[in-house]
């Protein structure tokens, strides 16, 4: 026996499709507007390259999963920065890898990375390898949270491959920013320094 479609279910399905399409359209328009603000038009030679088209599709897809304004700005401006600096065309696969990593990070995790970079550059007590308790205290102070939460946030960064734990000859553990985190650095600092994410 053929089952008749439920009118109510059909109405909900239709409404969902409409809202989803509007949501996607809004994200795409925002991305295009950011490119336009940077001076890129449909006639720009960069826009016609296969590398850009692939990156645009990937970035748009990431935007569909983003709800925070900070993350939307970060992902959009990553593409603008990649095109404007030429880095996207120099190494397209690197762009997609970095995009995937940043897409997976929360605003707070991106800000923590920024503070860790700043810690390494400007704090005289930091020597790339830093005792976990010192780094935990530093992040707790910067993020205005307790040491327990700071430690948990750093542990999550370990799982992403951006922060690693090493063991010295004495057996003591120390945190160290990974090579991947160093590669990610220019993108993270660009976003915060340009005001797309607030570091405090």
Domain boundaries of the chain, sorted by first residue: 10-104, 107-193
Strand 163-167 and strand 173-177: pairing?
antiparallel
Q: How do the pLDDT tens digits run along the chain, 200 residues long?
A: 455 667 767 677 777 677 777 878 888 999 999 999 999 998 999 999 999 999 999 999 999 888 778 788 888 988 998 999 999 999 999 899 989 998 988 888 888 888 888 766 555 454 444 555 577 888 899 899 998 998 888 888 888 888 877 665 655 556 678 888 888 887 766 666 666 666 65
The span from the CA of 126 to the CA of 115, in Å, is 12
Q: How many CA atoms lie within 13 A of 111 on its CB side?
A: 19
The span from the CA of 110 to the CA of 103, in Å, is 10
Is the entire prediction scored with pTM above 0.85?
A: no
Residue 27 in contact with residue 65, Cβ under 8 Å? no
What pLDDT shows up at residue 168?
A: 58
What pLDDT shows up at residue 100?
A: 92
DSSP annotation of 2 reads P
Cross-strand partners of 176:
164
What pLDDT shows up at residue 55?
A: 96
Quote the strand ranges of the chain, DSSP E. 163-167, 173-177
Domain 107-193 CATH class label: mainly alpha
Residue 192 in contact with residue 111, Cβ under 8 Å? yes
């Amino acid at each position: 026996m053929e089952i008749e479609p439920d009118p109510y279910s059909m109405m909900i399905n239709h409404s969902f499709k409409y809202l989803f399409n509007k949501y996607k359209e809004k994200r795409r328009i925002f991305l295009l507007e950011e490119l336009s603000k940077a001076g890129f038009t449909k006639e720009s030679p960069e826009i016609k390259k296969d590398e850009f088209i692939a990156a645009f599709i990937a970035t748009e897809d990431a935007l569909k999963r983003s709800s925070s304004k900070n993350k939307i700005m970060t992902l959009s401006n990553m593409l603008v920065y990649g095109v404007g600096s030429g880095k996207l065309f120099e190494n397209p696969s690197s762009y997609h890898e970095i995009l995937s990593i940043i897409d997976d990070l929360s605003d707070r995790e991106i800000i923590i990375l920024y503070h860790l970079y700043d810690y390494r550059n400007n704090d005289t007590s930091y020597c790339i390898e830093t005792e976990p308790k010192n780094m935990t205290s530093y992040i707790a102070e910067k993020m205005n949270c307790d040491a327990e939460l700071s430690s948990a946030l750093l542990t999550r960064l370990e799982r992403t491959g951006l922060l690693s734990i090493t063991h010295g000859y004495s057996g003591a553990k120390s945190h160290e920013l990974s090579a991947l985190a160093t590669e990610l650095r220019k993108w993270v600092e660009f976003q915060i320094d340009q005001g797309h994410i607030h570091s405090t």
